[in-house]
Amino acid sequence: MIKRLQMKSWYEEKGRRLLKDVFPYLGLIFVLAVFSILTDGAVLKARNLIMIFKQSIIVMVGAMGSSFVLAHGNMDFSVGGSMALASLAACTVGRINPYLMLPTCIICGVLVSFLVSSIHVSIGVPAFLSTMCVMFIGKGIVQSFTGSGISAPAMYAAWDETWVYAVIMVVMLIVSVALFNYTNIGRFNKLIGSNPTAARLSGINIGKYKTLAFLLSGFSVGIAAFLTLLRSGGVSGQTGQTYEIDVIIVLTLGGAPISGGSGVKMRSSILGALTYYALSNGLILYGISPEVVFIVKGALFLTIVALTFDRSNRI
């Protein structure tokens, strides 16, 4: 009898885990299905799907880096400002030598994240504050310097091809998954997010691994900034405008717990980004005005957080 009870709860636990795993997939399928009916299949046309794909990759890449930060329980609000700064720097340097554009993006992203994490780790300012300040500073600088916009070197127009995006995404995914699941960087960040006190008492160098997480986030923002330049052809006051919010919504949509810890998975970036852009795209194709799309995004974010937020530690 006890044996049977144990079996039953065993299945229940397995079932719960399975449900958590498939939920983000179901979300994506659901969104695609609903809008293909509403738009008479317009969403599923090849050209449209490719557009969704290209749009989502920019956020996907940023979300992969942000996953490391989210894993240890922080949110990186600096990614939008950092992307704007990296784009500005890259366009400026690109005038001197077009080939320096990608390295400039990456260096700039990493430098900004190093600054942010140093303020957080060494001085102890909460990360959401230090990153948010950098977001404003970055966007402010870019808006005051770009004016009507600075364009990227003309040679990059030819690079705005789907395969370029796909290659970059696949490489980033492989690197991220390897670091996240098969090295101490990913594991320790997840453990820090799960219980910082236990992490310290288990010998984890918390400052070091938090910093590494931010640096990875900065690196991926650099890549994302490069993709933005490919896609938009230059930098303007609008560059990286809602990027930090997009990244966080994407991670949540993909099933990552906002409280961090071991529930953060790399697949959240991909599933979340595809779902998010399929939804925006579907809403616009259905004829809903872009302003209303914002309302839908906000409501969606709230709903998901309310449904998935881990309440076990709530007082």
Partner 1 sequence: MSENYLFECRGLSKSFGPTKAVVEVDFSLPRGEIRALIGENGSGKSTMCSLITGMLKMDSGAMTFKGESFTPGSLLDSQKAGVSILLQETGTIGALTVAENLFLGREQNFIRHGRLDKKAMIDSARAACTHLGLDIDPSLPAASFSFEERKLIEVVRAMQDDPELLIVDETTTALSQAGREIIYSLFKKLKAEDKSAIFITHDLGEMMAVCDSATVLRDGHYVETISKEQFDESRIRQSMIGRQFTSGYYRTDENDESLRDDDIVLDVRGVSYGRSVRKVSFKLRRGEILGIGGLTDCGMHDLGQLMFGALRCDEGEVVHIESGEAIRSPRQAIGLRIAYIPKDRDQASVFLQSEIRDNVAVAASDKLQKHGFIMKRAEKELVLRETGRLSVKMQDIKQLVKSLSGGNKQKIALSKWLANDSEILIMDCPTRGIDVGIKAAVYRLMEQLKGEGRSIIMISEELPELIGMSDRVLIMKNGRLSAEFFRKDGLTESKIIETMI
Q: Mark residues 160-179: x for contact with partner 1 by CB under 8 A, - for none.
A: ------------------x-
Report the phi/psi class of residue 235: left, alpha or beta, with left for phi > 0 and alpha for psi in -120 to 50: beta
Q: How far is the CB of 250 from partner 1 (least distance, A)?
A: 22
Where does residue 287 fall: left (phi above 0), alpha (psi -120 to 50 degrees), or beta otherwise? left
Identify which of 283, 255, 275 has the alpha carbon closest to the alpha carbon of residue 28: 275
Pick the piece of the chain touching partner 1 (CB under 8 A) from 106-114, 120-128, 142-150, 191-199. 191-199
Q: 103-142 mask for partner 1 (x: CB under 8 A)?
A: ----------------------------------------
Residues 198-237 that bind partner 1 (CB under 8 A): 198-205
The answer to the question of residue 261 lying near partner 1 (CB under 8 A) is yes
DSSP code per residue over 177-232: HHHHHHSHHHHHHHHHHH-HHHHHHTT--HHHHHHHHHHHHHHHHHHHHHHHHHHH
Window of 181-189, 211-219, 226-234, 296-304 that interacts with partner 1 by CB under 8 A? 181-189
Extract the tokens encoding 21: 């795993």
| 41 CB-near residues (< 8 Å, 6+ apart) | none
263 forms part of the interface with partner 1 (CB under 8 A) = yes
Does position 311 interact with partner 1 (CB under 8 A)? The reply is no
User: Of 35-43, 49-57, 182-190, 245-253, which segment contacts partner 1 by CB under 8 A?
Assistant: 182-190
Is residue 262 near partner 1 by the rule CB under 8 A? yes
147 touches 239 (CB < 8 A):
no
Q: Is 148 or 197 the residue whose CB approaches partner 1 more closely?
A: 197
CB of 4 to partner 1, least distance (A): 9
Q: Is the dihedral of CA 193, 195, 201, 207 positive or negative?
A: positive
> What residues numbered 9-48 form the site for partner 1, per CB under 8 A?
9-10, 12-14
The CB-of-106 to partner 1 minimum distance in angstroms stands at: 20
Task: Tell me the closest approach of the beta carbon of residue 181 to partner 1, in angstroms.
Answer: 8
H or E element, residue 76: none
> Shortest distance, CB of residue 188 to partner 1, whole angstroms?
8
Q: Is 195 in the site for partner 1 (CB under 8 A)?
A: yes
Query: What would the two tokens of residue 102 be?
Result: 């990608």
List the alpha helices (DSSP H) in the chain: 2-38, 46-71, 79-96, 101-118, 127-146, 162-182, 184-194, 196-201, 206-232, 243-253, 267-285, 290-308
Q: How many chain residues are in contact with partner 1, going by CB under 8 A?
A: 34
Which C-beta is closer to partner 1: that of 16 or that of 95? Answer: 16
CB of 8 to partner 1, least distance (A): 4
21-26 long-range contacts (CB < 8 A, ≥24 apart) are 23/255, 24/253, 24/254, 24/255, 24/267, 24/268, 24/271, 24/272, 24/275, 25/271
User: What is the binding site for partner 1 (CB under 8 A)?
Assistant: 2, 5, 8-10, 12-14, 178, 182-184, 187-188, 190-191, 193-195, 197-205, 259, 261-263, 310, 312
